[in-house]
Amino acid sequence: MLHIKSLSEGLDLFKALGSDIRVEIVKILLDNNGMNMNELASRLNITNGALTSHIKKLEECGVVTVSSETSGHGNQKICSVHLDKILIDLQDEAKDENVYTTSIKVGLFSDYEVYPTCGIASGSQLIGQVDDTRYFSHPDRYHADILWFTKGHVDYVIPNFIPFSQKIDEICISAELSSEAPGVNNVWPSDIYFYLNDVSLGYWTSPGDFGDVKGIFTPDWWFPNWNQYGLLKMLVINHKGTFIDGLQISDVTIDRFNLTSKSNIKFRMEVPDTAEHVGGLTIFGKSFGNYNQDIEVRMSYSPIDSE
């Protein structure tokens, strides 16, 4: 998911999609799960040069990625659509003093229980050995920008530095996530459950462990047959319930937790062995995947006595 937080921020995207032929390119790529440049140009009845210009505009705004694939006919450029959703805030985000934001590094978990296949890595190297759960306790984990496991959980303490005598009205957490398959498998469903202070918020089913093309920010040293990118998911808990990407997943509201400036806040992501789809979890940070971010948290608050 691409989250555009203002109209001005989305200007390049709007320009790229403000063309009938580029919209048609996106439709064809979605229908065919990607296509090489020669086939796409033939399908559109345009020259390769004209197609290259259109693809470049779509690539620059992150809608399409291009990868090289070696075949019996030499190297071919394969075009693919990487976005599953585009979320646009028409109204600019409020610049007031009633919002606290913070980022949490992927490796900054406070507790864990994980099972192989599993591993952890920084943007420059693996941390320890893959499939050895002991390295989830290694001091270097604080530098990690990716972690993965087949089942189990990781817990994060959300920093709570809202002003004194305030209550939390909404928590928004965004992270790039995917399943975890042995190697990669784009069709590998996994039920990923979310908890706040040990209360289940609901779950989201990741469709796969994506490795068809290299992630935009995934480092060059990373192994081509390992997790490459995920989907950006936005989890929101407010007075109406709990939502992922705007779709309600449970009736659990923020009021259930009575969170104030004095509250400890623990967030868990888990793939339990009792889930219908036990397909693992991969969490991507800034140095990996398609989104240049860690686990991002936004909390809205108001005075306790405002009611």
Average pLDDT over residues 187-199: 98
Q: How far apart are CA 127 and CA 125, in angstroms?
A: 6
Same domain, 120 and 206: yes
- Please answer whether residues 38 and 75 qualify as being in contact, where contact means their C-beta atoms are separated by less than 8 angstroms: no
Domain boundary among 29, 63, 86: 86
Residues 46 and 153 occupy one common structural domain = no
Q: What is the mean pLDDT of the chain?
A: 92
pTM of the model: 0.74
Going by C-alpha positions, the residue among 160, 157, 161, 133 that lies closest to residue 147 is 133
pLDDT at 62 over 90: no
Confidence at 1, pLDDT banded by 50, 70, 90: low
Q: Do 123 and 82 sit in the same domain of this protein?
A: no
Q: What's the pLDDT tens digit per position in 125-153?
A: 999 999 999 999 999 999 999 999 999 99
Domain total in the chain: 2
Contacts of 111 (CB under 8 A, 6+ apart): 154, 155
**Domain's final residue, options 65, 86, 107:** 86
Q: What is the pLDDT of residue 266?
A: 98
CATH number of 136's domain: 2.60.120.260
Output the pLDDT for position 109: 98
pLDDT of residue 60: 87
Domain that holds residue 152: 94-306
- Give the burial class of 54: count Cβ atoms within 10 A of its Cβ; 0-12 exposed, 13-18 middle, 19 or more buried: buried
pLDDT at 194 over 90: yes
pLDDT by residue (tens digit) across 79-134?
A: 988 777 787 777 555 555 799 999 999 999 999 999 999 999 999 999 999 999 99
Which of the listed residues 66, 86, 106 is the one where a domain comes to its end? 86
Alpha-carbon distances of 179 from 7, 72, 153, 210, rounded to whole Å: 32, 32, 13, 8
pLDDT for 248-273, tens place per residue? 999 999 999 999 999 999 999 999 99
**Residues 51 and 140 both lie in one domain:** no
254, 128: one domain: yes
